[in-house]
Amino acid sequence: MAAVVLVGAQWGDEGKGKITDYLAEKAQVVVRYQGGSNAGHTVMVGEEEFKLHLVPSGILYPGRLCLIGNGVVVDPAILVQELDGLAERGIDTAGLRISSRAHLILPYHKGLDAAQEEHRGAAQIGTTRRGIGPAYVDKTARTGIRVGDLLDWPVFREKLAPNLIAVNELLAKIYDQPGYDLEAILDEYAGYARRLEPLIADTGRLVNEALNDGRRVLFEGAQGTLLDLDQGTYPFVTSSYPTAGGACIGAGVGPTRIDKVIGVVKAYTTRVGAGPFPAEITGAAGDLLREQGREYGTTTGRPRRCGWLDTVILRHAAQVNGLTGIALTKLDVLTGINPLRICTGYRYRGSIIQDFPASLEALQQCEPVYEEVPGWQEDITAARSLAELPGACRSYVRRLEELTGVPVHLIAVGPRRDQTIVVEEIF
């Protein structure tokens, strides 16, 4: 199997960093295909913790080709900071390449993100304020500036100047905010241009060549299915396509090249930011899960809202991504919670529905329907096979497979690389 897409099956924060890291050992190429520095992937190497925002997690293995694809929006300030941080810790970043077609995040995208959030008042989306939405708006409005433009300075200036006139007017007249200075941005970005120039490449060609040569390629999704612009809980979504189809568009490969799509599923559900969340656990029980699972945002530090495993969401994820397998994460966090609950459907206007509703208004009215299952007390962090898991734990995994129709291939029983049960090899 040569091409595997890894997607978040819930609202992001499923523990994709750990699974990517596990798969990157066997992959030769790792590609990010959407999102930007709103993502935060935590990877443990031994006792050392790495938090990555833009650089594909594969960078932690020497010799991997790591690509930032055309579908990513790149904040060069954060990228340079991340590269410096990795170098300081002795990680070789020579294998990184950035698509010349990827769009740049400019300072005004971050300013607009914050100003628009403030302006929304009670209707805030709860964005990471990293400029993601405004950068994708510019991309679709065809006023974006791309990474490749850093290589042609007169063109960069020519594109930036009219954008700034429009943005400054918008900031002053609508949001009552100060504007941005052209020369200051040019100065700052000239530095990034010098630094990033050797890394800019046609990453679509590189990934297709790798596939032609039979090399193993991992497409590393950020965020998750319910944050997808079309398939998620719109408008409480991000502005890109984290679902599997996004990998083709955002990496520049055809759908016929993809062999497997793995959904990363956390053993319970979490969400950051606003919006409906039917299986949410409020009060002390939710707080306990947050503490046990260390559920605080990697990028923003915000506490995550916690809830029970919701298989309505997972059936939706299985469908829209064409999942061929599941990587189940953080199963150890559920140890000691008894009984456990699994959401199997929603009660909506007097009837039980099995499908995830498209309308946010409908979702807001949905009541979760739960199945209670026994929990387990045993520490499972040392288990390395299904047989070593307590019976109740194995039943939980089996029930997840039955309710989603997707087989579980990997189970994470702790944050470290070795704390993984392989049910079926993915590469």
What are the catalytic residues? 13, 41
- The region of 42-50, 126-134, 158-166, 366-374 touching ligand IMP under the rule CB under 6 A is 126-134
C-alpha–C-alpha distance, residues 344 and 349, integer Å = 17
Of 198 and 235, which CB lies nearer to ligand IMP in the complex structure? 235
Query: Among 219-227, 278-286, 359-367, 417-425, which window interacts with ligand IMP (CB under 6 A)?
Result: 219-227
Beta carbon of residue 243, minimum distance to ligand IMP (angstroms, whole number): 14
**By CB under 6 A, residue 222 contacts ligand IMP:** yes
Half-sphere exposure of 378 (CA within 13 A, CB side): 13
**What residue number has its CB nearest to ligand IMP?**
273
User: Rounded to the nearest whole angstrom, what is the least distance from the CB of residue 132 to ligand IMP in the complex?
Assistant: 4
User: What DSSP line would sit under 166-197, residue for residue?
Assistant: HHHHHHHHTT------HHHHHHHHHHHHHHHG
Binding footprint of ligand IMP, residue count (CB under 6 A): 20
Written in H, E and C, the secondary structure of 43-105 is EEECCEEEEECCCCHHHHCCCCEEEECCCEEECHHHHHHHHHHHHHCCCCCCCEEEECCCEEC
| Contact status: 223 vs ligand IMP (CB under 6 A) | yes
State how far the Cα of 106 lies from the Cα of 365, in Å rounded to an integer: 39
Taking contact as CB under 6 A, which single stretch among the options 124-132, 163-171, 353-361, 409-417 is the one that binds ligand IMP?
124-132
345 near ligand IMP, judged by CB under 6 A: no
Asked whether the CA dihedral 211, 23, 255, 222 is positive or negative, the reply is: negative
Q: Which two tokens stand for residue 160?
A: 């930036």
Interstrand relation of 305-307 and 269-271 (parallel, antiparallel or unpaired): antiparallel
* Sites for ligand IMP among residues 7-36 (CB under 6 A): 12-13
132 binds ligand IMP (CB under 6 A): yes
> Any contact of residue 266 with ligand IMP (CB under 6 A)?
no
Residue 163: phi and psi, rounded to 5, are -60, -45
* Residue closest to 147 by CA, chosen among 81, 90, 200: 200
State in angstroms the smallest separation of the CB of 115 from ligand IMP.
14
**Nearer to ligand IMP by C-beta: 133 or 415?**
133
229 touches ligand IMP (CB under 6 A): no
Q: Does 227 bind ligand IMP (CB under 6 A)?
A: yes
Kind and range of the H or E run holding 8: strand 3-8
CA distances from 307 to 229, 334, 367, 423 (A): 22, 12, 13, 26
Residue 128 CB, nearest approach to ligand IMP (Å): 3
303 binds ligand IMP (CB under 6 A): no
Closest alpha carbon to 340 in 380, 378, 313, 373: 373
Should residue 231 be labelled a site residue for ligand IMP when binding is judged by CB under 6 A?
no
Can you tell me the distance from the alpha carbon of 21 to that of 26, in angstroms, rounded to the nearest whole number? 9
Exactly one of 64, 97, 130, 139 binds ligand IMP (CB under 6 A); which one? 130
Task: By CB under 6 A, name the binding residues for ligand IMP.
Answer: 12-13, 38-40, 125-128, 130, 132-133, 222-223, 227, 236, 238-239, 272-273
